[in-house]
A = this chain, B = another copy of it.
Amino acid sequence: MSLPDVQSWPPRSRFKLSRVGIQGIRKQVFIRWPQRTVQLIVDLDVFVDLPAFKKGSDLSRNSEVIEEIVEQSARQPAPSLEAMCADIAQQLLRKHDYATRSEVHAAADYFLDRVTPSGRRTMEPYRIMAQVMATGEGNIKRYIGVEVMGMTACPCAMETIREACGRELGMTHNQRNVVTIIMESRGEIDADDLIAIAEASMSSPTYEILKRADEKEVVMYAHQHPKFVEDVVRDLLTNILHKYRDLPDDVEVVVRSKSLESIHKHDAFAERTTTIGELKN
């Protein structure tokens, strides 16, 4: 006896859908970057479009595609998170033959060795992201993203206090800052570089282990580089342009800085959505 295929029934109404899929799938995957192989725990969302004539998208195929490519990464690690997402996106189009478009979002915790000002080694946590849209074999857009915590010291309060108290004092409010960079990638962009750019663009990077001498250095460095969220975003753009000036003009770039203001209960935020070409002009 064959089971009824309700998914293929005609729908009651004639509307196509933009995105149908599954969200919140968590998987262990293996990535082989040039320097090292890492295991990531990835949160995945995957979607395809659905034409007007088809009732259901058969969501179990999405799980199968993910499972197949995740298993493959255990045997042969993917070259990057965004490459793995591109594989999933293309395989989704093959399995859902009615679909004209697929979309894959991925995000994972990620760790890098860092060295504190006094030379101590620490391992710091980050978040890396990938987003891929496929509209046919080889017709794929890939985005790579990072989320990085650091620190900002406010230039306005510093200057106000300097004026009011004489030139000596450098005190100001400072706080945790979260930078996000998302860049379109055609294979040339490494998440580690984006993380380095993020850390270089705040008032100071932050570290898990800071003994007293280190703490002094971090605090003084941050006060020597006071920045608004606006400054952080502009320094991100400067550093991205310096590193990726030779990429094609239409490569898309989104950068954000969010500051968990120490003097307010709300956050400060700045963002630029642009392209490499726009930044060069």
Contact = CB atoms under 8 A, between A and B. Distances in A.
Central interface residue in A21, A109, A215, A223, by most chain B CB within 10 Å: A215
The oligomer's copy count stands at 4
A270 interface: yes
Contacts of A151: 173, 262-263
Contacts of A22: 264, 266-269
A195 to B, nearest CB: 13
Contacts of A219: 157, 161, 171-173, 263
Contacts of A223: 171
B228 A55 contact: yes
A1 B64 CA distance: 48
Given A160-B3, A174-B175, A228-B55, A123 B27 contact: yes
Interface residues of A, number: 106
Contacts of A204: 263
A59 B28 CA distance: 32
Interface string A152-186: 00011101111111001111111110000000000
Interface stretch (A39-47, A94-102, A138-146): A39-47
A210 B17 contact: no
A208 interface: yes
A115 interface: no
A279 B23 CA distance: 26
Given A6-B159, A67-B209, A234-B12, A18 B273 contact: yes
A87 interface: no
A160 B20 contact: no
Interface string A38-61: 010100010100100001110110
Contacts of A233: 15, 17
Given A209-B60, A209-B64, A272-B15, A174 B176 contact: no
A130 interface: no
Interface of A: 1, 3-7, 11-13, 15-28, 39, 41, 45, 47, 50, 55-57, 59-60, 63-64, 67, 70, 109, 111, 122-125, 149, 151, 155-157, 159-165, 168-176, 204, 206-213, 215-216, 218-220, 222-223, 228-231, 233-235, 237-238, 258, 260-274, 279
11 contacts: A7-B156, A11-B231, A11-B234, A22-B264, A28-B111, A63-B208, A67-B122, A170-B171, A175-B176, A176-B265, A210-B263
